[in-house]
Amino acid sequence: MTPEDKERFTENFDWFNQFFQDMRQLLKNIHKALKNELSYTIAHRGWYYEKSKSQPSLPPYWVTAISEDGFALQIFLILDISLLENNPYFINELSLVLVKHSRSDKSGYFNDYGMRVVQNKEIIIRREQNKFASGEISRSEGTQTKFQAFQVPLSAFTNGKEFQNVIQEKIVAVLRDMPVWE
């Protein structure tokens, strides 16, 4: 490897590590705000991403989830914007997509719940509010799972505003405005 290639590789390696470290810190700060502002318990904080078994690559998304009484909240960090192409409610850009669904026992079932909303697969959007969309996730056993979802572009955290204020305005305030399911 030439010295120029080695230097470029090292710079890219450092940049990606810093990016994921920053995203992890952002998600930890979101969890902290949800705990402090909305009294979520956040008993377990886990991270999941798809791992490519055929070749090294960036994951298309990174997700964390929490389960509360009566709902689960899955927070997707969308790194591959093609995941959003079929969803008319979301814009195609690097972003957080938050999916709150009515199955608190299924917080870790990302493909069966949140990813369906992200990709607009087997869901029915019943209402679009100014801040979020709501509807139902179709299930094979005939039951419907209610959901509410919204998007926060990552650019919202880089436009000069204090990121804690962005978390308050774009995430906590929206979750606070969502109606409780009956």
User: For 145-169, how does the pLDDT look when each residue is reduced to its tens digit (9 = 90+)?
Assistant: 999 999 999 999 987 778 899 999 9
pLDDT, residue 44, reads 66
How many domains does the chain divide into? Answer: 1
User: In the Cβ-directed half-sphere of 29, how many Cα atoms lie within 13 Å?
Assistant: 15
Please indicate, yes or no, if residue 182 is contained in any of the structural domains: no
Cα–Cα distance for residue pair 149/163, rounded to 1 Å: 21
**CB 38 within 8 Å of CB 175:** yes
**CB 70 within 8 Å of CB 145:** no
Residues with Cβ within 8 Å of residue 122, at least 6 apart in sequence: 116, 137, 138
Please indicate, yes or no, if residue 141 is contained in any of the structural domains: yes
Q: What percent of the chain has pLDDT over 70?
A: 96
Is residue 80 over pLDDT 90?
yes
Please indicate, yes or no, if residue 133 is contained in any of the structural domains: yes
Confidence of residue 140 (pLDDT cuts 50, 70, 90): low
Task: Give the structural domain span for 98.
Answer: 3-177
Please indicate, yes or no, if residue 130 is contained in any of the structural domains: yes
Please indicate, yes or no, if residue 103 is contained in any of the structural domains: yes
Is the pLDDT higher at 181 or at 31? Answer: 31
Please indicate, yes or no, if residue 69 is contained in any of the structural domains: yes
- In the numeric block, the tokens 């994921």 are attached to 20
Question: What does the pLDDT look like over 1-59, one tens digit per residue?
Answer: 899 999 999 999 999 899 989 999 999 999 999 999 998 887 666 778 788 788 888 88
pLDDT, residue 175, reads 95
pLDDT, residue 182, reads 63
pLDDT, residue 35, reads 92
Q: What pairs with residue 150 in β-bridges?
A: 98
Please indicate, yes or no, if residue 102 is contained in any of the structural domains: yes
Tokens, residue 27: 């998600």
pLDDT, residue 142, reads 65
- Kindly state the average pLDDT of the residues 71-95: 94
Residues with Cβ within 8 Å of residue 45, at least 6 apart in sequence: 28, 31, 64, 66
pLDDT, residue 41, reads 86
pLDDT, residue 55, reads 82
Confidence of residue 116 (pLDDT cuts 50, 70, 90): very high
pLDDT, residue 49, reads 79
**Exposure b/e, 86-116, CB count within 10 A at least 16 = b:** ebebbeeeebbbbbbbbbeebbebbebbbbb
Query: What's the whole-number average pLDDT of the chain?
Result: 89
The pTM assigned to this predicted structure is 0.91
Cα–Cα distance for residue pair 182/174, rounded to 1 Å: 19
